[in-house]
Structure 1
Amino acid sequence: MKDSAIGSVVLNPYADALMSLAQSQNLVDEFGSNCADLLGLLDESPELNQILANPIVKIADKKAILGKIVTDKIHPFMANFLMILVDRRRIGYLAGICKRYQAALRDLKGIVLAEVTSAVALTDAQTQSVRDRVQGMTSAASVEIETKIDPDIIGGVIIKVGSQVIDSSLRAEIRRLGLSIA
């Protein structure tokens, strides 16, 4: 199944339902924070992700694991949502659902996500410079920065905002120079 098909069939309806619940209970920001915590947990523990996605692991075992790990760290409504995902055998899509929820939250608040790839970690001043540049380009209320480190770009940064990519990496400059010489 293609990613877009998974998105329209599984991820979007669950993320939309979560957003609807959050809006009706005035918990939009708290659920956003819960989603960020859950994504961090899944990133830190690939084993947890494998257990949750494994159809052989019993539903009761998955609920017990989630109960021990996250129940007291997230809102009770979010904990109930996770249990529904387990019951419906959709817990393996948790990361995608959380990412879709966060995207909907950014849209709701007028926040733009800028994915910044650099060869080394950016300083606070550099991050603020990127934030200001993206905010000027998009006229967004706010800019959220997601950073990645890729030593292969040699130097500079690659900024991706939606479908727009600004590649000011040294690797791209070398490639452009090579094309102009050829």
Structure 2
Amino acid sequence: MASLQHCPITFQARSPPSTRFTAGGKHLNLSFSGRFSSLKLAGKHRSRSRGVVRALMGDSAAANYASALADVAKSTKTLEATAADMEKLDQIFSDPNIFDFFVNPIIELEKKYDLMDELAKSSSLQPHTANFLSILIDMKRIDLIKEIVEDFDVVYNRLTETELAVVASVVKLESQHLAQIAKVVQRLTKAKNVRIKTVTDPSLVAGFTVRYGNDGSKLIDMSVKKQLDDIAAELEIGDIQLAV
């Protein structure tokens, strides 16, 4: 994963901003503070963030961007909405055609901005999330979007004292089952909040698995695959004993 350079990174907007950035009807001059010394969004996002952007090296470029976005979300009291935006972006950029389009250096920036506008509108992204994407395109760092989404999850969970539980199943579980899983994880971790993320995994055959804890290091395995693996292991042990 690429890291930000020690030296300041600068870019000049193609045209001066005509209006200040607004959210909820209020005029704002947002500053992505975080580990960034200065990263400001002023004006409509078409202005491409006029001025100077400086970034100090931190754990990683993606982590720095995620922290900066979280700072803006906190300052505008849109942390939950921004977290929802990150989930939308995770789905959007999981499409290899979309991801490849944005990281392709041959494609004109204007075409990338146009598609970004369409995606932001159709997905009802927060204005500052759309502006944030503009910065990533401007700085040719849109390739980090997947890592940024992951790191934002980490920041969000820390700020809200939330435990993330990833539930994998062959088919989507009912909401009441997910609620029961959340209660179990909360009891095990003593977390203030539990957030469930669902993924599909056909290899499980049936049942489900739950990963939680730091880096998903803890596992609750209620899958048929696990039961079949256990049976297979027992049979192998039995065969060895018979052979002896």
TM-score under structure 2 normalisation?
A: 0.65
Percent identical pairs in the alignment equals 27
Q: In the alignment, which residue of structure 2 is the partner of 1:118?
A: 169
Question: Where in structure 2 are there 5+ consecutive unaligned residues?
Answer: 3-57, 238-244
Q: Which moved more, 1:63-72 or 1:79-88?
A: 63-72
> Secondary structure of the equivalent of 2:144?
helix
Deviation at 1:129, TM superposition (A): 1.9
The runs of 5 or more residues in structure 1 that have no matched partner are none
String of CA shifts for 1:3-22, please: whole Å, max 9, x gaps. Answer: xxxx9432101101111222
Higher relative contact order (CA 8 A, sep 6+): 1
Instruction: Confirm or deny that 1:49 pairs with 2:103.
Output: no
Question: Structure 1 residues 37, 170: CA separation in 2 closer, same or farther (over 3 Å shift)?
Answer: closer
CA RMSD of aligned residues (A): 2.3
**Structure 1 stretch 104-113 or stretch 166-175: which is displaced more?**
166-175
Contact 1:152–1:171 under 8 Å retained in 2: yes
Give the structure 1 partner of residue 112 of structure 2.
Answer: 62
Measured in 2, the distance between the counterparts of 1:80 and 1:148 equals 29
Q: Which moved more, 1:69-78 or 1:17-26?
A: 69-78
Assess if the C-alpha contact under 8 Å between 1:111 and 1:142 holds in 2. Answer: yes
SS in 1 for 2:125: coil
Larger helix fraction of residues:
1
In structure 2, give the amino acid aligned to 1:99: E
Tell me which stretches of 4 or more aligned residues in structure 1 moved more than 4 Å: none
Query: How many matched pairs?
Result: 177
User: Deviation per CA, 1:71-109, whole angstroms, max 9, x where unpaired?
Assistant: 583233222211111111011222321232122112211
Q: CA deviation at 1:164?
A: 0.5
**CA distance change for structure 1 residues 116 and 57 in 2, over 3 Å: closer, same or farther?**
same
**Quick check: 1:113–1:146 contact (8 Å CA) kept in 2?**
yes
Is 1:82 the equivalent of 2:133?
yes
Taking the aligned partners of 2:125 and 2:170, their CA distance within structure 1 comes to: 35
Shift of 1:176: 1.9
Which of 225, 230, 240 is equivalent to 1:171?
225
Query: What's the secondary structure of 1:168's corresponding residue?
Result: strand
User: CA separation in 1, counterparts of 2:68 and 2:209?
Assistant: 34
Describe the superposition over 1:59-80 as per-residue Cα deviations: whole angstroms up to 9, x where unpaired.
2221222123315832332222
The farther-off stretch of 34-43 and 163-172 is 34-43
Deviations, residues 123-158 of structure 1 (Å, cap 9, x unaligned): 233222211111111111222112222232222221
Amino acid at match of 2:150: K
